[in-house]
Amino acid sequence: MLDIFDLTVRYRTSGGELEALSSISISAKKGTTLALVGESGSGKSTVALAAMGLLPQEAQIIGGTVRFDGHDLGAMSVEERRRLRGSRLGLVFQDPFSVLNPSLTIGSQVGESLIHHRGYTPREAFERAIGLLDEVGILNPKAVANAYPHELSGGMRQRAIIAGALAPEPDLLILDEPTTALDVTIEAQIIELLEQLRARRGLTMLFISHNLGVVRRVADEVAVLYAGQIIEHGATEDVLHRPMHPYAKGLLAAIPRIGSKQLRLASIPGRLPDLRKPPSGCRFAERCPFASESSTQPQTMRMVGGRGVRCANAELVESTPWPTPEATATQAPPRSEQSPVVSVRALDKTFRIGGGVTLEGWRLRRNETLLKPVDDITLDIRRGEVLGLVGESGSGKTTLGRTILRLIDPDSGEIRIGDELVSGKPQRELERMRRTAQIVFQNPDSSLNPRKTVGELLARPIRRFGLATTERMPTRVRELLDMVRLPSHYANRYPHQMSGGEKQRVGIARALATEPRFIVCDEPVSALDVSVQAAIVNLLADLRDQLGVAYLFISHDIGVVAHLSDRIAVMQHGKLVEIGDADAILNHPRHPYTIKLLSAVPRVDARSTSAGSGPPPLQ
């Protein structure tokens, strides 16, 4: 159906030409699902754009062909390509929140392509849209068709987008990270929908994702991309359970798994090579623990046991697992049963949304909605303990974290940090608490002031609390950088000169600058790639062991939480539905919501046979 052969794409950039794809060859047979896996910058989205014939202006196809059902896309005129896209290809993007036009109804957007490509009248298209919405499992399709995007939840929107992609009865569906922006339970539903649709319509799918758990569920074949090359290509089971290429091994080893607790996660050191001047030999050699003499030679795709591997040493290292690091500190300190570092009692916070006043008869009425993201929360965090906090988006995790730190003022309840009661104090008297309790944020791009160097960023909290003299400052900054394993010359860098993982390290160093005893980690690894995520999680674990800091570790990724936490708390609609020892929660969840959440997590190591059988449908 889709056949990409020897495709090389370059981007013209200000710093020279960048080879985004080097001799990519993939093909998806009719009715199968091919997954493209890789980290950011690997070129997966470029493949999708090339398959659609939608490469941007600055991209240049150097060589190779893209064939769709026998037609060469490169030989087509722009108009022909447009027609092909409209009638036989469907595209679903990552972010369901920005794809739909907020000022058009769902129905008209779903049916839009029918008007342009199938000659439907707007009325007919709308009718058909209702049918399609029904097909993608939307309950009240007529009402939804008349609704506007903002009235729909994320999962509903993604269903509507899929319906829109299905409208022209396409043969090939290209899905670019279709579930990344969604909660796990919703993700599970969307995956299930895709499987149903594939069976019913005989769709061919090109599925692009960084989430190996999701890929395992949907794909028949997997191609792993690294730095613009396919480094391993084969049946899903083979690649995900017995990876041969070192990078694939590393990627799989870096994923925290629920139920098998290791002290430290494996991580892949280093970063992607600069594709403006790609290394002449193996592109992964620099980061590869198995690199040998032959790695300096360009690697070619070889068939090894029914799959393609781009590594000369594949057979040699086949049975050697990716090295797992030892814990740097000897062992996690025994959890003391003494007084907790943080203790929260009956904490409440209500937000008023809307406001505004309407006249009701002769009376003024405030129309506002009350939202309770923190509803009667009680919890303790002991010294050196990691309390994992999980829940779906909107469950109040972030609000709870920030309320404990008094970044948001609570309505009622009691917060104690150390031995200090901080809930009743005015902001200016919180000096001591601010030193003891710090926070690490989710988005490394947003959490560091882009106008300040790393040195300035780290020095500020030290100066703010008078923790070092001006002469001692550079030494202290170096110590902090060393603690998060960044070289000391990074002090002169600006945030935009660092990678995401490095920025997150600086964010952690900044939190450590005040020598806190408690840190709220608000989704600290959610914006990072798997291999980088593993390194940051390890770093957090090391710091906990060395410094005895306690964390409130907020994440929607239950795998990461399971790996790092001593205890886990589950939140739903602002309420704590379950809290307890990590093992107990993971293995014997009691609350129905916890059970639902855990069963929705796509796992890489689960050994389900065919891609068609998923967990039971969720209500």
Partner 1 sequence: MSAEVSTTVVDEKPPARGWPLQLKIGLLLTGTIVLLSLLAPSIAPHPWDTVSMRTRFLPPGPTYWLGTDEYGRDVLSRLLMGGRLSIAMGLGATIVSLLVGVPMGLAAGYFRGWVDETLMRLADVLMAVPPIMLGLLVLAVTPPSLWKTALAVGFVYIPLIARITRSVTLTLANEEFIQAARARSESNWYILFREILPNAWPPLLVEASLRVTYAILLGSALSFLGLGAQPPSSDWGLMIAEARSFIDRAPWIALAPGLAMCLLVIGINLLGDGLRERLDPRLKTRIGKR
533 binding partner 1? (CB under 8 A): no
Q: How far is CA 535 from CA 227, 256, 483, 501, in A?
A: 20, 11, 13, 8
Stretch that binds partner 1, among 9-17, 80-88, 130-138, 365-373 (CB under 8 A): 9-17
Cα separation, 4 vs 27, whole angstroms = 6
Q: Which of 156, 248, 448, 554 binds partner 1 (CB under 8 A)?
A: 448
Number of residues that bind partner 1 (CB under 8 A): 61
**Does 422 engage in binding with partner 1 (CB under 8 A)?**
no
Interface pick for partner 1 out of 144, 191, 275, 597 (rule CB under 8 A): 275
For 575, the token pair is 């309420």
Residues 471-500: x/- map of binding to partner 1 (CB under 8 A)?
A: --------------xxx-x----x-xx---
CB contact at 8 A, 155 and 97: no
Binders of partner 1 among 226-265, rule CB under 8 A? Answer: 264
State which residue, 106 or 506, has the beta carbon closest to partner 1.
506
Nearer to partner 1, 65 or 328 (CB): 328
CA distance 150 to 324: 46
Site for partner 1 (CB under 8 A): which residue of 431, 587, 588, 612?
431
Q: Which is nearer to partner 1, 192 or 522 (CB)?
A: 522
Separation CA 547–CA 542 (nearest Å): 8
Amino acid at 508: I
Q: Does 205 bind partner 1 (CB under 8 A)?
A: no
**Nearest-angstrom CA–CA distance, 576 and 358:** 35
Is 425 a residue that touches partner 1 (CB under 8 A)? no
Cα–Cα distance for residue pair 2/70, rounded to 1 Å:
8
- List 1, 18, 132, 253, residue binding partner 1 (CB under 8 A): 18
Query: 530 is written with which tokens?
Result: 């798997």
Q: Which is nearer to partner 1, 377 or 539 (CB)?
A: 539
The answer to whether 345 contacts partner 1 (rule: CB under 8 A) is no
354 forms part of the interface with partner 1 (CB under 8 A): no
Three-state SS string over 549-605 comes to: CEEEEECCCHHHHHHHCCEEEEEECCEEEEEEEHHHHHHCCCCHHHHHHHHHCCCCC
Give the binding range for partner 1 (CB under 8 A) out of 11-19, 83-91, 98-106, 206-214. Answer: 11-19
The continuous run of DSSP H or E covering 520 comes out as: strand 518-522
Is 449 a binding residue for partner 1 by CB under 8 A? The answer is yes
- Which of these segments, 23-31, 298-306, 439-447, 551-559, binds partner 1 (CB under 8 A)? 439-447
What string marks each residue from 364 to 393 as x (binds partner 1 by CB under 8 A) or -?
------------------------------
Provide the 8-state DSSP code for 74: G
Q: Give me the amino acid identity at 321.
A: P
Does residue 209 belong to the site contacting partner 1 (CB under 8 A)? no
Strand order in the sheet with 71-72: 16-28, 2-13, 59-68, 71-72
Binding mask 397-416 for partner 1 (x = CB under 8 A): -----x--x-x---------
**Cβ distance to partner 1 smaller for residue 292 or 497:** 497
- Taking the least distance from each CB to partner 1, the nearer of 80 and 431 is 431
CB count within 10 Å of CB 367 equals 10
Task: Find the binder of partner 1 among 82, 117, 460, 575 (CB under 8 A).
Answer: 460
Query: Rg of the chain's alpha carbons, rounded to an integer?
Result: 26
Binding test (CB under 8 A) with partner 1, winner from 22, 105, 538, 555: 538
- Stretch binding partner 1 (CB under 8 A), from 207-215, 372-380, 507-515, 584-592: 507-515
Nearest to 266 by CA among 208, 330, 320: 320
Q: Does 98 bind partner 1 (CB under 8 A)?
A: no
DSSP 336: P
Report how far residue 384's alpha carbon sits from residue 332's, in angstroms, rounded to the nearest whole number: 9
Closer residue to partner 1 in complex, CB, 528/586: 528
- Residues 314-343 touching partner 1, rule: CB under 8 A, are 325, 328
The span of 207-215, 239-247, 430-438, 584-592 binding partner 1 (CB under 8 A) equals 430-438
Instruction: Name the 3-class secondary structure at 168.
Output: coil
- Do residues 481 and 508 lie in contact, with contact meaning Cβ atoms separated by under 8 Å? no
Q: Residue 186 or 405: which CB sits closer to partner 1?
A: 405
106/458 with CB nearer partner 1:
458
Q: Is 148 in the site for partner 1 (CB under 8 A)?
A: no
Binding positions for partner 1, 35-94, rule CB under 8 A: 41, 46
Tell which residue, 353, 414, 352, 418, has the closest CA to residue 383: 418
User: What H or E segment, with its residue span, contains residue 107?
Assistant: helix 106-110
Partnered with residue 578 across adjacent β-strands are 570
Q: Chain centroid to CA 534: how far?
A: 13
Q: Are strands 2-13 and 16-28 parallel, antiparallel or unpaired?
A: antiparallel
Can you tell me the distance from the alpha carbon of 488 to that of 477, in angstroms, rounded to the nearest whole number? 8
Contact set with partner 1 (CB under 8 A):
11, 13-15, 18, 20, 41, 46, 264, 267, 269-271, 274-275, 286-287, 325, 328, 402, 405, 407, 427-428, 430-431, 434-435, 437-439, 441-443, 446-452, 460-461, 464-465, 485-487, 489, 494, 496-497, 502, 505, 507, 510, 514, 534-535, 538-539
